[in-house]
Structure 1
């Protein structure tokens, strides 16, 4: 699911009545950008349903599947702030159309890929073009709608994102089950063509005032390198070992990269992220809150599709339906959360939301191979109820506590924090899962009186168990198949439960961070707003 923020300056004084002609018509502009943004929103959940099929078809390991997710999220996170500045400089119409075309082409290329490295590479391109698309879409709405109707437009835009997110698991399940996992990506091509044609006809160019004259290319390179070292270390640590020198070398390079990036940002004339923004405690707390929320949510949810399909044997469509309480509750609860935040301020809804999220994570840690659908649905619904106020409120906190002239950068920080948190959560909880499987599988295998495994065979079995797939040898007798399946499911569920427990603790910490938030002086400034 994807949220984005706006505004850097008040919306222009536009006439309330409809424009004459098609070009620049407010509601047609909304329709046009909504179709484009729908692709990115769908991709957030539709690919998760396809992950087990991709892993099986391309013989991908857990780390490979993580990189299919992390490559996209990292590219998106690293590029969002830069993409927003590109739109301000060269026009939001141009960057939106380039983002649409590139996203659709990258999607088609993924569908044609026959190896994991190509899938990962084109997913990175998807993330880069998605970063161009998202800030430009809201920039176009801000420039097109009169101030008194901008909130309504962004509200409808948010509903499109919510509906797309909710429909992703169902659409993904139908496509994977009845066509192929490739069709999950191919579907973006006709949607992208439609959005591109509409955009060329309808969208009107807009150039922001006081556009940046230069771009912080060294800052972009430093931040990208630092995050790469960090995520790579976290994903490879189970293979290398947490005590291995290689793991700590990459972690050290990540710390050094972030330190050099921070130093550089204090020296450059137009920094990628002006560090003075973080003097605001509520703003900093809002950014940390987004990272922790996404860490717990996206990291924990990574295992759910494997749990539903591999352990419970659900079809892709059924697993998508099982997730509907989560996305459906988010759609229902988001406007209610917005009303609460307007009335009471962000602190109480944010703390309550993260406490609900933590409770849902701890509840999901109790799931086992025999858990029924009703129990799962209740925890999923509670998770959606908890996430809704955080999605809405944290954005208000970040942008509202930033100076007006830096509200666009603050919006990029909000979205980047969410994407980076999701990447870190997937990596850290994946490593946690792998460590638990490596620790428990040998004993569980022996206790089931299964034939002993060599070190190499045990490594291969662990890689399969991490995604819930029983490592059954060819022509194994039925009793051996049953025993291996039981060991696999028990070990996988144990690892997943531990990962959800860690996610619950992180969400609990996020509730504490939410106590530091408050409505900012700019939160009620005129001319547009900040919405999910």
Structure 2
């Protein structure tokens, strides 16, 4: 099928794109088309959090297995996102977006058909690789067709779709897990993917850079992918190996060294995978950091909130999903509002404001207990949704809006990499913090709830289950003892939640200060041209 080619390689960073011809290249049709793919990827990133308990029961998966169901996807995404953006910039953003759509949809169906936890993890990784072709090219396509004055609005809608799809994951997942099965959480991508493919094939223009026949940066691809994988692997295994163990520290050190070598190499190659000159823009650099923090908080908090609501409070998947609805609704409001405020006042206002709202949400969770009323839950959900949506809009504009048009795909890949690495780290680090606090307080909380001291000490072996919010009770336990075990286990888990919430709150405050101090009033003044 022939397509209109929009080539901006020779244009200055903020020159308006040529007028669209017919439906192909129409900015708003392009936005609708990429929103389909973005929604599918965002939904899948968080829907698994609510399906995890059922996957664990059905496939006899351990806590570590369930973490890998989430993290294999995020790791594969993180390792290949910048590559996906670079491939789109060079060979055609439309082409790689469509390849990503087809592969992501097929991998989703394969996950449901896998029949084993190893198969689920493997196909989740494959799904992540195709998502890495899809995601960065959504922003690259928008950057190519929207004029600069309307790009901020487009990014606001993009951020809204991304935030809402992520926040809706638990609700959609709850309905499917409760009324169909966990496999349907992945099968739902099939109809979405088919609709997205047909619509995108009809309306998306081809856009790429006339970069000549220069050599592709294969060493850069390998160094970046390996460095990211080793760093995140070290974080994921930190809980098992111990954070101060030689294995954990060694993995983190090796990963960081590889990434430093990657950065050095990229400054000495003629056509780098990730042009280091992009980081001359303070807005782009800080926007990347804040994006990582944003999704560290969002995905990490969603993960433990779902465990709290389902396993500690006893809500069904649907009931748990509905109770997080304020988060989704707040994101709907915050993303376009954040885009408008960013357009008027710059990211220097909206990024710190979003971070402060997330910090407030995290600190409010310190008041949660085993029997907290819903009145204590929905205000943090609203604050978190507002903060996430606002930061998404501001950081997207700061990153992609500060990059030259010819580097739009790379900038989109950079932002998406920060997003996914932040999400992987958030899930891993916060679960590890919860597990560590549960291990140190479980025996005391069980004894305090009325469990005999000798039995409480033996139950310490069940700390991994309690770290997932599951009390180690059996059917033949006397009712009074069972109630005490449930109470003590729930309190130990809440102790872990408090530790995780405190860490996220402090991290958000640090992010707010960084954004307020480091970002200029108008991020475009720092754009590298």
2:106 equivalent to 1:105: yes
Residue aligning to 1:334: 335
Q: Tell me how far apart the structure 2 counterparts of residues 162 and 236 of structure 1 sit (CA, whole Å).
A: 28
Q: SS at the partner of 1:173? A: helix
2:190 equivalent to 1:189: yes
Return closer, same or farther for 1:486/1:68 CA change in 2, 3 Å cut-off: same
Q: SS at the partner of 1:78? A: helix
Residue aligning to 1:12: 17
Question: In the TM superposition, what is the alpha-carbon distance from 1:412 to its structure 2 partner?
Answer: 2.4
Return closer, same or farther for 1:443/1:336 CA change in 2, 3 Å cut-off: same
Which string of whole-angstrom CA distances, capped at 9 and with x for unpartnered residues, describes residues 400-439 of structure 1?
A: 4445554543332222112111211222112111111111
On the 8 A contact 2:96/2:133 being kept in 1, the answer is yes
Return closer, same or farther for 1:189/1:13 CA change in 2, 3 Å cut-off: same
Moved more, 162-171 or 149-158: 149-158
2:451 to 418, 429, 449: 449
Return closer, same or farther for 1:167/1:284 CA change in 2, 3 Å cut-off: closer
Alignment of 1:115-194 (within 5 A): 115-143=116-144, 157-194=158-195
Which string of whole-angstrom CA distances, capped at 9 and with x for unpartnered residues, describes residues 490-518 of structure 1?
A: 11111111111111111111111112112
Residue aligning to 1:218: 219
Q: Tell me how far apart the structure 1 counterparts of residues 276 and 301 of structure 2 sit (CA, whole Å).
A: 31
On the 8 A contact 2:288/2:418 being kept in 1, the answer is yes
On the 8 A contact 1:288/1:513 being kept in 2, the answer is no
Return closer, same or farther for 1:150/1:276 CA change in 2, 3 Å cut-off: closer
Which string of whole-angstrom CA distances, capped at 9 and with x for unpartnered residues, describes residues 293-331 of structure 1?
A: 222332233201000111111111111111111121111
Q: Tell me how far apart the structure 1 counterparts of residues 403 and 149 of structure 2 sit (CA, whole Å).
A: 23
Alignment of 1:271-420 (within 5 A): 271-402=272-403, 405-420=406-421
On the 8 A contact 1:341/1:393 being kept in 2, the answer is yes
Residue aligning to 2:524: 522
Moved more, 162-171 or 366-375: 162-171
Question: In the TM superposition, what is the alpha-carbon distance from 1:360 to its structure 2 partner?
Answer: 0.9
Residue aligning to 2:269: 268
How many equivalent residue pairs? 515
Which runs of 5 or more residues in structure 1 are unaligned? 1-5, 526-532
Return closer, same or farther for 1:473/1:452 CA change in 2, 3 Å cut-off: farther
Q: Tell me how far apart the structure 1 counterparts of residues 400 and 29 of structure 2 sit (CA, whole Å).
A: 27
Moved more, 505-514 or 92-101: 92-101
Q: Tell me how far apart the structure 2 counterparts of residues 164 and 345 of structure 1 sit (CA, whole Å).
A: 25
Residue aligning to 1:245: 246
Question: In the TM superposition, what is the alpha-carbon distance from 1:482 to its structure 2 partner?
Answer: 1.5
Which runs of 5 or more residues in structure 2 are unaligned? 1-7
| TM-score (norm. length: structure 2) | 0.89
Aligned alpha-carbon RMSD (Å): 2.9
Moved more, 85-94 or 317-326: 85-94
Q: Tell me how far apart the structure 2 counterparts of residues 229 and 340 of structure 1 sit (CA, whole Å).
A: 38
| TM-score (norm. length: structure 1) | 0.88
Residue aligning to 2:440: 439
Moved more, 266-275 or 442-451: 442-451
Residue aligning to 2:424: 423
Which string of whole-angstrom CA distances, capped at 9 and with x for unpartnered residues, describes residues 248-296 of structure 1?
A: 2222222322222222222222222222333444432222222222223
Q: Tell me how far apart the structure 1 counterparts of residues 336 and 254 of structure 2 sit (CA, whole Å).
A: 43
